[in-house]
Structure 1
Amino acid sequence: MDLAGLRVVKAVADTGSVSRAAEALHCVQSNVTARIKRLEEELGVDLFLRLSRGMEPTPAGRVLAGYADRVLRLVAQARDAVAEAAGRGGRLAVGSMESTAAVRLPPILAGFHRDHPDIDLTITPGPTETLLAEVLAGRLDGAFVGGPVAHPDLAAQPVFEEELVLAEPAAGLTRESARHTLIAFGRACAYRGRAETAMREAGRLPFRVMEFGALDAILGCVAAGMGVTVIPRSVVEREPWRDLLAPRALPEALARMPTQFVRRADAIETGGMRAFLEAVTDPARFGSPAGRMPAPLAGATVSPTSRTGLNGLTAAC
């Protein structure tokens, strides 16, 4: 049993197919099949069931795939730790919600890059549920996600709290039906559930949802009068959206949304990750387009605005 064999086991278990595993590993299918057969002979057990629809791990295969996942993550962490010790900086793969990446991260990343230019940092945007899965799978070292997180394999650190608002076009909606059109990310987004609750509490029933995969596409469609969305106030207050969108306050129970940085609980904290967390949690590194400092989660307060409530919102729209 070697690392190459463990990579094959994990790839087949993750993809459920020899062909997809070979594609992920950039090798031919015969190599994948031969590796699996060799491991099965070595261990004296069947690792996968050969089905018409693909490959399914046996109980023994699931156990080995779990160990393979842990071993390969430790190898990657060891490689990064050695690179750091040798003064080569190391690597960090971080995920983020699009709104966080657009508004909160630029000043943090600027300071981090200035202080640690040798660390190879990549940022992958995505919705919360997808990012959580990527962290659990070890493909991301950590991620900024929305809402409370409770998972035995994850460590979550609150970083700041957003105020969600109902964003409408400053120029007004183009038609009555637009009041009942929610423009949003897919259901994997942490804000989606809050947005649907806001529509129901506003009495905008029935409502339809237009899904988009990019933040600027959502904001552009709202600005054009096609519908409404629920988004952090910090996004609405940046250019060019501050002149194109009208933010309306939500009840506090819907408005408060914590942003947390999550990592695997069993991950070894590298120097690069430690430095990144220091940059994230140092309030002096935060900035916002409106010139306000986003409050840390523990002491966060919703921006003082006149609150008409959702029923009042409906009447005003």
Structure 2
Amino acid sequence: MDLAGLRAIKAVADTGSVSRAAEVLNCVQSNVTARVKRLEQDLGVELFHRMSRGMAPTPAGRVLADYADRVLRMVAQARDAVADAAGRGGRLAIGTMETTAAVRLPPILAGFHADHPGVELTIVPGPTEHLLGEVLAGRLDGAFVGGAVEHPDLFVRLAFEEELVLIEPASGLSSESGRSTLIGFGRACAYRMRAETAMREAGRVPYRVMEFGSLDAILGCVAAGMGVTILPRAVVERAPWSTMLTARRIAPDLARMPTSFVRRTDAVETVSLRAFLDAVALASPLALARQPPPRWTGLNLSKAAC
């Protein structure tokens, strides 16, 4: 059993066919088939059901594919950690909600890049539910997510705390249609969930929802009078939106929204990741790195936000 064999097993299990696995691995199909057969012979079990259209893992194949995923993830982490410790820089892939990327991260990233120019840092935006899945799968080293989260495989630490507000055009809403139209991200977003609750509690029912995938698109549509949204106050306080939009308070129990940083419990905290969290701490009033020894809490995926 070697790494190449484990990569083949995982690729076939993930894609459901030898041909697609060969594309993922950038090799010929015969190599993938040979590695799968060799592992089946070594272990004395069938790892896949061969069907007319593709392959499906057997119970034994699912077990091995799960171990292959963990082993390959640990190997990648070990390589990055060694490069990191040797002072050759490292690689970090950090996920973030779009609002956090727009408002909180620019000064953090500027300071981190100035102090650690050798680190290859990738920022991946997305809604919380997607980011949590990417962290759990090991494709992200960590992510900034919104709302209360709980999962046994995640370390969670409070990074920022946002005040959510109802955002309307500064010129006011001229129609009942705009007053009862909620503009926001998709359902995987925590702000969306809070926004719908706030609309109901404010009596703005029935209401309709217009979904957009970009923060500026949401704010632009609100500024045009097409509807309202609920987002962090810090978003609307930036230029040019501060002169085009107005913020109204919502109920305190809906307004408070924590943003946490999550990573896998079994992930190695590299020098680069620790330095990144230190940079977050310098910019955050909650001072991540200066808190008492971390008391990690969990995030409830059913309450995930964007």
Instruction: Give CA-to-partner distance per residue, 1:38-91, whole Å, 9 cap, x none.
Output: 322222222223456643322211211121111111111111122123221111
Instruction: Give CA-to-partner distance per residue, 1:164-202, whole Å, 9 cap, x none.
Output: 111111122353212221111111112121111111111
Q: Is the 8 A contact 2:49 2:56 kept in 1?
A: yes
Unaligned runs of 5+ in 2: 289-306
| 1:235 CA drift (Å) | 0.6
Equivalent residue, structure 2, for 1:39: 39
Instruction: Give CA-to-partner distance per residue, 1:186-241, whole Å, 9 cap, x none.
Output: 11112121111111111122211111111111111111111111111011111111
Equivalent residue, structure 1, for 2:120: 120
| 2:207 corresponds to 1:207 | yes
Matches of 1:47 and 1:194, distance apart in 2: 45
Matches of 1:84 and 1:177, distance apart in 2: 55
Map of 1:237-316 to 2, 5 A cutoff?
Answer: 237-282=237-282, 285-286=283-284, 294=285
Matches of 2:126 and 2:15, distance apart in 1: 20
- Shift in alpha-carbon separation, 1:243–1:50, aligned structure 2, 3 A: farther
Q: Is the 8 A contact 1:129 1:190 kept in 2?
A: no
Equivalent residue, structure 2, for 1:230: 230
Equivalent residue pairs, number:
288
Map of 1:20-59 to 2, 5 A cutoff?
Answer: 20-51=20-51, 54-59=54-59
| 1:31 CA drift (Å) | 3.5
Matches of 1:175 and 1:55, distance apart in 2: 56
Corresponding letter in the other structure for 1:250: I
- Range that drifts further, 134-143 or 224-233: 224-233
Corresponding letter in the other structure for 1:192: R
Matches of 1:29 and 1:171, distance apart in 2: 62
Equivalent residue, structure 1, for 2:68: 68
Corresponding letter in the other structure for 2:244: L
| 2:162 corresponds to 1:162 | yes
- Range that drifts further, 10-19 or 194-203: 10-19
Corresponding letter in the other structure for 1:106: P
Corresponding letter in the other structure for 1:217: A
Corresponding letter in the other structure for 1:237: E
Q: Is the 8 A contact 1:127 1:188 kept in 2?
A: yes
Unaligned runs of 5+ in 1: 287-293, 298-317
| 1:111 CA drift (Å) | 1.0
| 1:296 CA drift (Å) | 5.7
Corresponding letter in the other structure for 2:79: R
SS of structure 2 residue aligned to 1:101? helix
Matches of 1:109 and 1:158, distance apart in 2: 18
Q: Is the 8 A contact 2:85 2:271 kept in 1?
A: no
Map of 1:145-156 to 2, 5 A cutoff?
Answer: 145-156=145-156
Corresponding letter in the other structure for 1:245: L
SS of structure 2 residue aligned to 1:158? strand
Matches of 2:184 and 2:248, distance apart in 1: 16
Corresponding letter in the other structure for 1:203: G
Query: Moved runs in structure 1, 4+ residues, more than 6 A?
Result: none
Equivalent residue, structure 1, for 2:104: 104
Matches of 1:111 and 1:264, distance apart in 2: 25
Corresponding letter in the other structure for 1:57: P
- Shift in alpha-carbon separation, 1:119–1:177, aligned structure 2, 3 A: same
Corresponding letter in the other structure for 2:74: L
| 1:135 CA drift (Å) | 0.3
- Range that drifts further, 11-20 or 211-220: 11-20
SS of structure 1 residue aligned to 2:46? coil
Instruction: Give CA-to-partner distance per residue, 1:78-118, whole Å, 9 cap, x none.
Output: 11122123221111110000000011001111111111111
Could you say which structure has the greater relative contact order, defined with CA pairs below 8 angstroms and 6 or more residues apart?
A: 2
Q: Is the 8 A contact 2:156 2:260 kept in 1?
A: yes
Equivalent residue, structure 1, for 2:91: 91
| 1:13 CA drift (Å) | 2.6
- Shift in alpha-carbon separation, 1:55–1:185, aligned structure 2, 3 A: farther
- Shift in alpha-carbon separation, 1:234–1:18, aligned structure 2, 3 A: farther
| 1:139 CA drift (Å) | 0.3
Map of 1:3-18 to 2, 5 A cutoff?
Answer: 3-18=3-18
Corresponding letter in the other structure for 2:71: V
- Shift in alpha-carbon separation, 1:161–1:37, aligned structure 2, 3 A: same
Instruction: Give CA-to-partner distance per residue, 1:253-303, whole Å, 9 cap, x none.
Output: 101110000000001111111111111122xx34xxxxxxx5569xxxxxx
| 1:124 CA drift (Å) | 0.3
Corresponding letter in the other structure for 1:178: G
Give the RMSD, CA atoms, in angstroms: 1.8
- Shift in alpha-carbon separation, 1:27–1:196, aligned structure 2, 3 A: farther
SS of structure 2 residue aligned to 1:206? coil
Matches of 2:9 and 2:105, distance apart in 1: 36
Equivalent residue, structure 1, for 2:184: 184
